[in-house]
Every structure is written in C-alpha cells, then in structure tokens.
Amino acid sequence: MLALLFVGLAVLAQAKDVLFEITLTWNTSSPDGYAREAILVNDLIPGPPLYVDQGDQIYFVVWNLMPFNTTIHFHGIEQVNTPWSDGVPGLAQRPIQPGAGFLYEWNANEYGSYFYHCHAQGQVDDGCYGAIHVRALEEVARPFSLITNDSQEMASITKAEKRSSPIILSDWTHLTSTQRWKAEVAAGRDSPCTNSILINGKGSAVCLSQAEINSSMTPRMWTVTGGVPYTDMACLPPQLAVGQGNFPHNLSAAPQGLWFGCQASTGFAEVLNVDAKTQYVSYDVISAASTSTFIFSIDEHPVWVYAVDGRYVTPTLADAFTISNGQRFSILVKLDKPAALYNIRTVVSGLNQIMEATSYLSYAGRLKPNSSSQPYITLNGTALTSETVFWEETAAIPFPPVAPSLTSDETYILPIARYKASYNWTLGITQYPTFQAGGDEPLLFNLNAQGSSSPWEIRTQNGSWVDLVIVTEGVASPHPIHKHSNKYFVIGKGTGLWNYSSVADAISAQPSSFNLVNPPMRDTYSTPAAAGNGSWLVLRYQVVNPGAFLLHCHIQSHLDGGMAIDLLDGINKWPAVPASYLHSNGF
Ligand SMILES: *[C@@H]1O[C@H](CO)[C@@H](O)[C@H](O)[C@H]1NC(C)=O
Ligand SMILES: *[C@@H]1O[C@H](CO)[C@@H](O)[C@H](O)[C@H]1NC(C)=O
Ligand SMILES: *[C@@H]1O[C@H](CO)[C@@H](O)[C@H](O)[C@H]1NC(C)=O
Ligand SMILES: *[C@@H]1O[C@H](CO)[C@@H](O)[C@H](O)[C@H]1NC(C)=O
Ligand SMILES: *[C@@H]1O[C@H](CO)[C@@H](O)[C@H](O)[C@H]1NC(C)=O
Ligand SMILES: *[C@@H]1O[C@H](CO)[C@@H](O)[C@H](O)[C@H]1NC(C)=O
Ligand SMILES: *[C@@H]1O[C@H](CO)[C@@H](O)[C@H](O)[C@H]1NC(C)=O
Ligand SMILES: *[C@@H]1O[C@H](CO)[C@@H](O)[C@H](O)[C@H]1NC(C)=O
Ligand SMILES: *[C@@H]1O[C@H](CO)[C@@H](O)[C@H](O)[C@H]1NC(C)=O
Ligand SMILES: *[C@@H]1O[C@H](CO)[C@@H](O)[C@H](O)[C@H]1NC(C)=O
Ligand SMILES: *[C@@H]1O[C@H](CO)[C@@H](O)[C@H](O)[C@H]1NC(C)=O
Ligand SMILES: [Cu+2]
C-alpha cells in the first residue's frame, strides 16, 4: 500500500504539461518520387514525432488548413476520462472544419509506442500520421534482464530504449484516398493493391517484369488464382471471385493504378545511421499501412522484440517479424557487425501483392554498400533458408503477464462479411454507415443521437467483462481489428466454423485454442487467415473507461466499406462532456 502511494507521488513529481501543435495542409508531395496531392503535417510526411514521459498531460493542437473536414486519433492511447479527445467524427467530436483548430487533451498514462493519424474518411492514406513515444517511468519493470545481466550491456540497452526512434511503415498509392474509394465503388471491387511502400515517408515505386512476378508467386498464390498470373502491379487479379465474392463489377471503370498499370517512380531511400560504439539501437516499428500486412527484417541483424503495441513482452530474438496495420513492435538491434550498409527489408506478407521496400542501416555514415548484405527473407515474404527465425508470439508473453477474468459478463458475435458488394463490409449484423466526416451529433454528446439503439452499436455496462467474437467466413485474408481506448486480451483463435453457443463452450471443446493465463494484451490484432471454412478470434476486455469508442478493421478500404462497430462503453456511467468540447473545439 505504502509502495503504491510512493509510486503515485513519483508520477505527480515527474508529470508535466506538454503542448504540441500541428498544422495540416493539402499540397503536392512526392514521397515515392511521383507527385500527387497529399496531407502534410507541418510540411512533412510523416508528421513530427511526439516524445513524452509517462504521466505527462498532453495538449495537442491541430490546425486544419485543408479544404475539407478532418480529425486526429491517437492510436493506442487509452483516453482515460477524456473520450472527447479520441478523434472519431460522429462518435467523439464534430469534425474540424477548414480553417479551424481543435485542442485534444489526454494523459500519457501508459508507456510505449503509439501514433497519431487522421481518422476522417481515408485521410490516413494521404500521409496524415506521425509517431508517439511515451517513455516509461523509472519504476516500471523492464524485461531487459532477460536479454543480458552484463552491466555495461544493460546500460547500453537502457540508453537505447530512451532514444528509441520511429520506423513508420506505410503503403502508398498514386491516387488520393478519395479517388481510390470512388474508383473501387465504380469498379465494384475492393482493391488490396498499392503503388509503393514508404519507410518514414520515403520510397520508390518499383515495377517488376512479368517473369519476375511469375517466378516470385508462391504455390499458394498459383492455387488461389487457378493458374492466372498476378497483374503488372504484382497484385491478385481483381477479375477472380476469390477474395472478392460474386458481386457485380465493371473493371473497365477502374483507373490505372488500382490493379493494373504499374507506374515506376524513384524517391529517396530512408537511411538509419547508427554508431557501433552505442552497442545497441532501439526502434519503434509502427505500421501506418492502409492495405498490406508487412514482414520486416534487417539483413544480418537479428532483433530483440521487447514490446508490442506499446507493452513490454518477454524479449525474443528474431530475424523477421510480421506486422499488421496499426500494430507497433519495439525492437533492440545489437550493433556488432562490420561497418557497412545493411538492407532493411519490408515486404508484403499476404496474397494481395508481391512488393518490397528497401531502407538501410548505415554504420559510421556509410552510404554505399561494399557488397550486398545477406537477406533473411525473400521478396514473397518466405524465409530465404531454413535458418531464418520468424518472431513467435507464443514465446513473447506480456511482461509482466496479466490474466483476464476467467468468465465474461457480455458476449457479442461479430461476423465479418461482404455486404451486397465486394467493397462493402460488416463487422456485426450490418454495414457501418458510410465513413463519415459529416456533422452528425457525436454519440458521446448524446447517447441517443441515432435512436435508442442501432444495429451498428454495442452498449456495455461499466466494469463488466466483454467478449467480442470476430468470425470470418469462407476463404478470408486476415483483418487487423483495432479497438479504441483500453487494450483487449486475445484469449482465443482458430480456423473453421464458430459453432459454439458461448465462449465457455468453445473453451471446454477446444482448450488448446485458448489462453486465459498470459494471453497477448493488444489494441490491434488480426483474425486468422482462413483457407475455406472461415476463422474466429475471441477478444476479452473490461469496460473501465465510459465513452463512445470504435472497433474496426485497420485496412482502410474495409473501414471505408463499413467494417466497424461502435462500442458505447459504460452507458450506466456515461460521462458528462465538458462545455469546451460540447460547444466548441476544446479551447
Ligand atoms: C499548401 O496548401 C495550403 C492549403 O492546404 C495552401 O494554402 C498553400 O498555398 C499550399 N502551398 C503550396 C506551396 O502549394
Ligand atoms: C539474469 O539474472 C536473472 C536473475 O538471476 C536470471 O533470471 C536471468 O535469466 C539472467 N539473464 C540472462 C540473460 O542470463
Ligand atoms: C506468366 O505465367 C503465365 C501463366 O502461366 C504465362 O501465361 C505467362 O506467359 C508467364 N509470363 C512470363 C513472362 O513468364
Ligand atoms: C519466392 O520467390 C522467390 C524468388 O524471389 C522464389 O525463388 C521462391 O521459390 C518463392 N517462394 C515460394 C515459397 O514459392
Ligand atoms: C463500365 O465502365 C465503363 C467506363 O466507366 C462504362 O463506359 C461502361 O458503361 C460500364 N459498363 C457497365 C455495364 O456499367
Ligand atoms: C565493408 O567495408 C569495410 C571497410 O571499408 C569493412 O570494414 C567491412 O567489414 C565491410 N563490410 C562488409 C559487410 O563486407
Ligand atoms: C455500399 O455502401 C454504400 C455506403 O453505405 C452505399 O451507398 C452503396 O449503395 C453500397 N453498395 C451496394 C452495392 O450496396
Ligand atoms: C464538415 O463538418 C461540419 C461540422 O463540423 C459539417 O456541418 C459539414 O457537413 C461537414 N462537411 C462535410 C463535407 O462533411
Ligand atoms: C468504471 O469501472 C471501473 C472498473 O470497475 C472503475 O475503475 C471506474 O471508476 C468506473 N468508472 C465510473 C465512471 O464509474
Ligand atoms: C465445431 O467445429 C469444430 C472444427 O471447427 C469441430 O471439431 C467440432 O466437432 C464442431 N462442433 C460441433 C458441435 O459441430
Ligand atoms: C471445410 O470443411 C469441410 C467439411 O468439414 C471439409 O471437407 C473441408 O476440407 C474444409 N476445408 C478447408 C479448407 O479446411
Ligand atoms: Cu479488414
């Protein structure tokens, strides 16, 4: 008790107010060498990183100089007692209109790696994102003694963690997010195809020859397409019903760049300079991707994954790891190799596309490779040799582990399915209404603004334990499901039909598919890929922070198509919104 009290005092002693201001503009930019209109944050893609200490109170001001409405969401930040700063239009706030500003205020109560991004329409795809790093309080236990007990090495690791810098992965298209969505609707197809991958906003659009595309297709890709080769953008062909369903479509209405018409362009490559004298370097690898799940690997450098989605895990050493849209991996890299330039590879892991981006780890300012460094992975994401070690989540349990409740109070089954069109989706019984930036009254301001209940909402009681069972059907690619506010426990997953009447029944029928002892604590986690009979994912969380929060797929075209549901958490303890937010922009 006394110890707890002291921790509390320490928080107060160190906490400070942090003012951070960004200006959003809509200007021409060429992150991969191709000029298009984009959202710049303080003239940059990505926007400037925000570094704060755990316990700090953040005053985050957004000026919208763009010709359309916007909002900013703080991905992974819990927004304890500040649900009006969560940034979802129609749920937490009215949009920020052109020429207007907005003050987001929140507490950095948890340490770790996060990011901010636009949450109106598809604006995150136009370059609107930036890193957030919350440095853990001294008294928070680190898992680093599981890496070393050598005091000198420990000092290097501790220093590296304090200076951890972001590596933001993203995919990029030469169409704007609005052009892209309109094109998908016109063509009647969902597009999982992009032009390039950006690393910290830098990259190039590379066009492979058809021979290279053919030879990089895996046997699984050939099976899925029934022998049809991938398009010239190295994408899954859209004419096939597989992965698209049997819905009307008109591919001739699709502009170049949606699946066909590779446009090569050359931009800069990101170079991360390191100094071997520091012995270790730490990075927050953040996926701000729109479409693809990536595999990330640094040639000749195994990495210690020590935190995932901003929370420490038992560190495990891996040559490569898979990272989905919205996830964050914090890694330590030992700098014990000869001074040279090493390729950092980011490749698409799914069946949607074959694509790779290169950035570099440069020792002592080296700018030219003396010879090409030795990869762990191939262009199609497979291991180059049987020696390659992929990150294994089961070994990387949360540090320290926290167990969820063994039972739940409320259970919701949420089917993911296409809804009357291949580009429209459900997460639950119906499609979420068109992704908005309109002036609807936020549900936080008035719980019954859309009636006393709607098919795209869940109403929970404060304090209760909630199970969300996400169910996919047929052949399904993974969907990274992101929950706003507090994290969930990933207690179970499997492939095949969800044919249980309750989570308890499923646990007794297949106990090995569940973990109630030390399950992952995440804010973004993908449904398992399904080869034919669907798949399922069971997420358990406790309602502790009343407010209106979104649960959604972090693939932007799926969110645009309605793969989302409102979590109206703790309706029995609904918060009173401060007048500054109710009637104004927080100022
Ligand atoms: C950038 O965009 C803003 C509006 O978002 C505009 O006022 C400004 O003139 C643009 N600057 C350039 C260099 O195009
Ligand atoms: C460091 O010491 C602790 C306590 O003795 C031990 O549990 C841990 O395994 C050691 N770590 C390493 C990397 O050897
Ligand atoms: C790619 O594969 C397809 C299907 O087997 C074949 O028709 C085509 O000729 C191949 N293209 C090249 C350049 O190898
Ligand atoms: C992946 O592509 C490489 C060429 O980059 C090819 O040699 C390899 O066979 C492919 N892997 C699989 C599993 O097909
Ligand atoms: C398909 O799209 C093209 C191009 O927009 C259009 O000319 C054509 O009428 C469309 N076909 C159908 C059947 O709608
Ligand atoms: C690259 O060249 C430097 C000397 O210029 C050498 O020290 C280093 O070992 C070389 N690196 C590799 C990977 O061959
Ligand atoms: C897809 O969803 C949008 C938005 O709700 C709707 O306007 C459109 O009609 C839907 N398309 C089909 C084919 O149902
Ligand atoms: C922009 O937001 C305002 C309210 O903040 C709303 O009245 C308006 O309809 C929105 N504009 C668009 C195009 O959605
Ligand atoms: C909601 O429930 C949590 C957990 O029981 C509790 O800590 C919190 O104070 C409650 N909030 C309100 C507003 O009652
Ligand atoms: C439910 O499905 C699993 C496989 O997904 C199967 O093993 C089990 O027998 C099924 N149970 C019932 C009651 O159908
Ligand atoms: C789907 O389930 C059926 C019936 O149990 C089975 O025959 C088939 O092999 C399964 N398909 C896949 C891809 O698992
Ligand atoms: Cu999805």
Count of beta carbons in the 10 Å neighbourhood of residue 450: 16
Q: What is the dihedral of CA 77, 81, 84, 85, to 10 degrees?
A: -30
In sequence order, the 6+-apart residues with CB closer than 8 A to the CB of 1 are none
Q: For residue 405, what are its two tokens?
A: 């409740």
Task: Provide the CB-side half-sphere exposure for 27 (13 A, CA).
Answer: 13
**How far is it, in rounded angstroms, from Cα 358 to Cα 366?**
16
Top-tier CATH class for 410-582:
mainly beta
Q: What is the pLDDT of residue 351?
A: 95
Which residues in 314-347 are b (16+ Cβ under 10 Å) and which e?
bbbebbbbbbbbbbbbbbbbbbebeebbbbbbbb
Q: Is the pLDDT of residue 1 over 70?
A: no
Measuring CA to CA, which residue among 481, 435, 485 is closest to residue 86? 485
* Pocket of ligand 1 contains residue 66 by CB under 6 Å: yes
Beta partners for residue 415, in sequence order? 471
**How far is it, in rounded angstroms, from Cα 389 to Cα 479?**
24
Which residues does ligand 4 sit against, CB inside 6 Å?
215-216, 218-219, 378-380, 382
Nearest CA to ligand 8 atom 12: 438
Measuring CA to CA, which residue among 49, 56, 77, 7 is closest to residue 487? 77
Q: Is the pLDDT of residue 437 over 80?
A: no
The tens digit of pLDDT for each residue in 290-341 reads: 999 999 999 999 999 999 999 999 999 999 999 999 999 999 999 999 999 9
**How far is it, in rounded angstroms, from Cα 207 to Cα 248?**
30
Beta partners for residue 476, in sequence order? 530
Nearest ligand 6 atom, CA 342: 13
High-pLDDT (> 90) share of the chain, %: 92
The whole-model pTM stands at 0.95
**How far is it, in rounded angstroms, from Cα 81 to Cα 88?**
16
* Pocket of ligand 8 contains residue 438 by CB under 6 Å: yes
Beta partners for residue 353, in sequence order? 235
Ligand nearest to the CA of 486: 9
Ligand nearest to the CA of 543: 9
Nearest ligand 11 atom, CA 531: 13
Q: What is the pLDDT of residue 370?
A: 58
In sequence order, the 6+-apart residues with CB closer than 8 A to the CB of 199 are 167, 168, 169, 269, 270, 344, 346, 357, 359
Nearest ligand 11 atom, CA 475: 13
Chain-wide mean pLDDT for the chain?
95
The tens digit of pLDDT for each residue in 504-515 reads: 999 999 999 999
High-pLDDT (> 70) share of the chain, %: 96
Strand 488-495 with 521-522, pairing = antiparallel
The tens digit of pLDDT for each residue in 33-65 reads: 999 999 999 999 999 999 999 999 999 999 999
**How far is it, in rounded angstroms, from Cα 161 to Cα 335?**
14
**How far is it, in rounded angstroms, from Cα 520 to Cα 488?**
8
CA of 262 to the centre of ligand 4 (A): 21
Q: Is the pLDDT of residue 258 over 60?
A: yes
Q: What is the mean pLDDT of residues 5-26?
A: 75
- Cis amide leading into 400 (omega within 30): yes
Asked if residue 528 lies in contact with residue 478, where contact means CB atoms within 8 angstroms, the answer is yes
Q: Is the dihedral of CA 172, 174, 179, 184 positive or negative?
A: negative
Q: Where are the beta strands (DSSP E) in 443-504?
A: 457-459, 465-472, 475-476, 480-483, 488-495
Domain ranges in the chain are 2-140, 141-401, 410-582
CATH topology agreement for domains 2-140 and 410-582: yes
Which CATH code fits 2-140?
2.60.40.420
Q: Is the pLDDT of residue 452 over 50?
A: yes
Q: What is the pLDDT of residue 13?
A: 53
The tens digit of pLDDT for each residue in 140-166 reads: 999 999 999 999 999 999 999 999 999
Nearest ligand 1 atom, CA 28: 14
Q: What is the pLDDT of residue 9?
A: 46
Q: What is the mean pLDDT of residues 175-181?
A: 97
Assign domain 141-401 to its CATH architecture: Sandwich (2.60)
